[in-house]
Amino acid sequence: MTKKLTGFIILWVVFFSILWGLDENGLFSYRTIEIFFGEELSLPQEYSTTKVDIAELGQRKRKEREIEEDFPQVQRQTDKKQRQVTRKKTSQKKPRPTQKQQPTQKQQPTQKKQSSPILDEIIPLYKRGDFYTCLHKIKQRKQNSFELKNLKKKCMRLILLIEDLSQKASFHGKITVIKMSNGKEYIGKIVANGVENIDFQSEWGTFPLPKSRIANKTSLDSEQFRQQLSKKFKQQIRSLSPKNHRQVVLFIEDVYKNNLPHLIVQAVERLERKNIDIIKDLIEYKASKIYRSYLWCETMGQKQRSQKFRNRILDKYPNSQAAREIKEQSLQRVAPPVRVVQRETVKRLPKVAGAASDKTKKANKYYGVAFKHLKKSFPGEPNADRELAKAKENFQKACKYYQEALSLQPNNTNLQKQLQQSMEYYHHCIKQTRLE
């Protein structure tokens, strides 16, 4: 069975190989296939159904080769160029029927936004550090744009930071910088040169300086000295941190006193990149400083000074935390005297994390010891005077460490309240000591 199958396959292979050799085009001609199958082929519309004669095709190819050999070479090149041009034309992509052809418009040059003449007049004043004139100009204008409102708010807050500062006297021409042996530095002019002393005019007035204590003396031009000072402050701006409010406030005060207010604007603009509310935080820090002075005067019985600090906080810084604390205190009842509350116990003392934790622990320790001695100092108790003296001594130490802890964390309200209470007890001990 296998022999018959292999013989049949070999017969078919030989037959089709003969047909392949007869076809010059390398494909079976339609005519040969039709003869073999005995019927016409039904081909798709894309294909031609014309019958091909192999002999005629061979004759046509021979004639084309003879013509190409006799045809000039220049004509061939021109024909190639024409073919390339036609190919390029046909290869260009036509727009789709769904896409709309938009007319090409010439690109017009972009025009810069025109700045308002009001800002052109006010912004240079702000950059120069003339906040008072800048605020006066804004108030005169009737326009209330966003830029003017923001600039007005900045000027008002910066004025609060510098309103209680005095600027040093500015000298012209040659000035003298004197450095003393103790490290102090005086800037001004020499008025008179005596045998042992020199009369020196500085920004604070005229006073004598002993020659034996002068370590170094240099003379500079006032403009040159101003440039050196400005360069020094610009280097300090890079080291300012928006989290260290005390450092920033001291820098602003130092710059303003040396008649360089334009550097305040540069420092604020640099710090605002990290903290957009830096001016608001500085105002809060300054209000807390005044509030601590108010607490001190209040506990020490200095009513006039405490009332002065209180009014200043409520008038200048009404939205600060210090103002809210004062308003809350005014609503609370007056605490009873210490001598009346004999069974009073020590409340929970504040716990602080960070750099102020060690100072707070020491202060809490002294406060607890002082409170125990204070309970033993009531009238009728044995050794009341000695216990009162020990209570006063420990309350004084507690106040000292609470103040140091508060300087590291000035916005801690628990420390502020504890310091106020410690001062009240300390002041009470002083009064009782003097009475007895």
Provide the pLDDT for residue 200: 85
Provide the pLDDT for residue 69: 58
DSSP H helical ranges for 141-260 = 146-162, 222-238, 245-257
CA atoms within 13 A on the CB side of 211: 9
Residue with tokens 């305040």: 264
pLDDT in tens, 260-311: 888 898 888 888 888 888 888 888 988 888 888 888 787 767 788 888 988 9
pLDDT in tens, 142-191: 767 788 888 888 888 888 888 888 777 777 778 888 888 888 888 888 88
Buried b / exposed e over 136-160, threshold 16 CB at 10 Å, is ebbeeeeeeeeebeebbebbeebeb
Provide the pLDDT for residue 95: 52
Provide the pLDDT for residue 379: 66
Provide the pLDDT for residue 344: 44
Q: Rounded CA gap, 150 and 157, in Å? A: 11
Judge whether 221 and 252 are in contact, CB under 8 Å. no
> Domains of the chain: which residue ranges?
1-41, 128-162, 174-276, 355-436
CATH entry, 355-436, from 1.20.1300, 1.20.58, 3.30.190, 1.20.120: 1.20.58
CATH entry, 174-276, from 3.40.1410.10, 3.20.20.10, 2.30.30.100, 3.60.70.12: 2.30.30.100
Judge whether 208 and 256 are in contact, CB under 8 Å. no
- Residue closest to 234 by CA, chosen among 251, 220, 219: 251
In sequence order, what are the residues at sequence separation of 6 or more whose Cβ sits closer than 8 angstroms to the Cβ of residue 252?
A: 161, 162, 264, 267, 282
Cα distance between the two ends of the chain: 142
pLDDT under 50 in the chain at which residues?
A: 24-27, 38-44, 46-47, 49, 74, 99-101, 104-114, 333-346, 434-436
pLDDT in tens, 126-146: 888 888 888 888 888 776 778
